[in-house]
Amino acid sequence: GASRHALGAPPSKNVSHDVWHPVFDVDQQGRPVMRYIDQFVQPKDFEEGVWLSELSDALETSQNILSVPVPVGKFLLINNLFWLHGRDRFTPHPDLRRELMRQRGYFAYAASHYQTHQ
């Protein structure tokens, strides 16, 4: 978990090189964060591959999964620092087109809302 893992960037990220970061880390305020994309992680050896596979299985079979339906013509905005997320299969609508938009930036929030080490 604390070691850095290589992630091959998907085409939608417009990054041509591997990215290295730990799965589990802390942000600048010391709060825990998790960054993980199971389709693109590149384990360095068999042992790490087993660990990552078990992590994926635990996430996929968690009792704490929340499904959020997104009605036709609507969108969902998620802050990746707070949500581990996946996507169900996409079914195209015959009268609409799907467009992927990536918004880069920062969310401002009051530090007092988030307390650590309680």
Is residue 58 over pLDDT 50? yes
Q: Residue for token digits 């990215």?
A: 19
Is 46's pLDDT higher than 90? yes
Section 62-82 average pLDDT: 83
Every domain of the chain and the residues it spans: 1-118
Is the pLDDT reported for residue 84 higher than 80?
yes
Instruction: Judge contact between 53 and 45, C-beta under 8 A.
Output: no
26 compared with 46, residue with greater pLDDT: 46
Which architecture, in CATH terms, is 1-118?
Answer: 4-Layer Sandwich (3.60)
Q: What is the pLDDT of residue 61?
A: 92
Which amino acid makes up residue 41? V
CB atoms within 10 A of CB 88: 9
- The 3-state DSSP class for residue 54 equals helix
